[in-house]
Amino acid sequence: MTTQNILLTGFEPFEQEPLNPSWEAVRALEGWQCQGAQVVARQLPCVFGKALEVLDQMLTEFKPALVICVGQAGGRSQLSLERVAINVDDARIADNAGRQPIDQPIYNDGPAAYFSTLPIKSMVKAMRAAGIPAEVSQTAGTFVCNHVFYGLLHQLTQHTPAIRGGFIHIPYIPSQAARHPGQPSLALDTVIEGLRTAIQSAMTLQQDVVEGGGQLH
């Protein structure tokens, strides 16, 4: 019997950062076993379009039982379980290939949005119980992270709707915040522990809990 794969992706650095904590955290979990499945950690380019081509190949190659894409959210203070991916690219800065699309749909024939199919409320609950700062987030932005999140759900919905997928944003790590005075950060170990807890929840729970995680606005 083959072991199931859990596909975990992080991004290459962008916006002049020397590293991307999403990749540093994800690579540390390569090979980690959870509920009889094993983590395959891979890096995505921070490039519109290209990131989705690479992700699609990974989906084909690894036939994962679970997919979690992780990205850096400089300025946030907690692990953010993204609730919804929207069908638009609106780039405040250029991506790593110099592209800066504005108000372009990701898939012309795609719906306006997809909801994460991860049990995000349970994941937040489990992380908080483990002492790890976490929240549900109502927006993944409109840059490459949202682009990948939307593209992932578009692929899964069309081809393997039973496979759960979603996106987690993580803060800067301290060495980045030391160069961006005032910005919050989390130690890489805390992030890695958070991702472990999140994966554990997603692999064991059939249904999400009903717990508030909304915003007034």
SS3 67: strand
215 near a second copy, judged by CB under 8 A: yes
Which contacts of 95-103 are long-range, i.e. CB under 8 A and separated by 24 or more positions?
95/14, 95/46, 95/47, 95/48, 95/143, 95/144, 96/12, 96/14, 96/45, 96/46, 96/47, 97/45, 97/47, 97/48, 97/50, 99/47, 99/48, 99/49, 101/48
91 near a second copy, judged by CB under 8 A: yes
Shortest CB 154 distance to a second copy, Å: 11
Nearer to a second copy, 65 or 73 (CB): 73
Given the residues 145, 147, 154, 193, the one annotated as active site: 145
Select from 193, 214, 201, 134 the least CA-distant residue to 168: 134
Given the residues 69, 82, 135, 193, the one annotated as active site: 82
69 near a second copy, judged by CB under 8 A: no
Shortest CB 10 distance to a second copy, Å: 14
Q: Identify the DSSP state of 37.
A: E
**Catalytic residue annotation:** 82, 145, 169
Site of interaction with a second copy (CB under 8 A): 15, 71-78, 80, 83-84, 86, 88-93, 100, 102-103, 111-115, 121, 127-128, 130-135, 138-143, 145-146, 169, 174-175, 177-179, 181-187, 189-190, 208, 210-217
